[in-house]
Chains A and B, each alone.
Chain A
């Protein structure tokens, strides 16, 4: 009975402090809204189940990392994550080659695809590690803002609170970080594409 009274914001705060049962309450309170929203977009029960699961994995990770900015908007935030994951799913599906049912079966249409994916994955890993190395070369203040924004998914408001500078300064540092990264990339002719 008492659980019904506790607000989402309070439950989130309790969960961040380590109270696991708060998450259970949050999931049971909102599961129907979130799941039926996903199902209304994908019309596939298993797929909706997967996206629902991925949504909450993201929620759990963000909350445990302390990267969540509580503004009393837990449900819209979770809905936004699930919405983005639904879009990701449709994008990924569009890129997948469709099986051509009219002609003869070609084994290479199946094999070729996975080989390409593995190669692309390697290139992606390489590019990401190159970018990481380049970031290490940035001045400390710019590096700090860029890492918080891009890798920790923090908003500029959070960054300004964490670093003790104004939002405009944080924005400026981000801008210079990107300009400097581009300069280094141009200067050394580094190719960062997949």
Chain B
């Protein structure tokens, strides 16, 4: 019985992305800016 509980608690979370990935995306979003020039759009990563 004890073994069962231990195994359960060590299972890897396959339902959620890692926290680092989410953080990377939020930082990426903050760093990215799109500049409009006439009809063109330029992306700039200000990091």
A interface residues with partner B (beta carbon < 8 Å): 20, 23-24, 27-28, 31-32, 35-36, 39, 45, 48-49, 52-53, 56-57, 60-61, 64-66, 144, 147, 152
Q: Is B8 an interface residue when CB atoms closer than 8 A count as contact?
A: no
Closest Cβ of chain B to A168, distance in Å, is 23
Partner of B25 from the list A36, A60, A144, A147 (CB cut-off 8 Å) is A60
Ordered by A's residue number, 23 sampled pairs between the chains whose C-beta atoms are within 8 Å are: A20-B26, A20-B29, A24-B26, A35-B15, A35-B16, A35-B17, A36-B16, A45-B12, A52-B17, A53-B21, A53-B24, A53-B25, A56-B25, A57-B25, A60-B28, A61-B32, A61-B43, A64-B29, A64-B34, A64-B43, A65-B34, A65-B43, A152-B41
Bound together, the chains give a CA A23 to CA B14 distance in angstroms of 22
Q: Chain B interface: which size bin? A: 20 to 34
- Which of chain A's residues have a CB closer than 8 A to the CB of B28? 57, 60
Bound together, the chains give a CA A20 to CA B21 distance in angstroms of 16
Q: Cβ of A36 and Cβ of B21 under 8 Å apart?
A: no
Q: Cβ of B15 and Cβ of A27 under 8 Å apart?
A: no
- Which of chain B's residues have a CB closer than 8 A to the CB of A23? 25-26, 29
B34 nearest in chain A by CB position: A64
Interface of B is mostly: mixed
Closest Cβ of chain A to B47, distance in Å, is 14
Q: Cβ of B16 and Cβ of A31 under 8 Å apart?
A: yes
Q: Cβ of B30 and Cβ of A20 under 8 Å apart?
A: yes
Q: Cβ of B26 and Cβ of A31 under 8 Å apart?
A: no
- Which of chain A's residues have a CB closer than 8 A to the CB of B17? 31, 35, 48-49, 52-53
Bound together, the chains give a CA A147 to CA B14 distance in angstroms of 40
Q: Cβ of A39 and Cβ of B14 under 8 Å apart?
A: yes
Proximity bits, B1-24, A CB within 8 Å = 1, else 0: 000000000001011111001101
A56 nearest in chain B by CB position: B25
Q: Cβ of A36 and Cβ of B15 under 8 Å apart?
A: yes
Bound together, the chains give a CA A65 to CA B36 distance in angstroms of 9
A27-B22, A65-B34, A65-B41 in contact; A60/B29 too (CB < 8 A)?
yes
Closest Cβ of chain A to B35, distance in Å, is 10
A28 nearest in chain B by CB position: B22
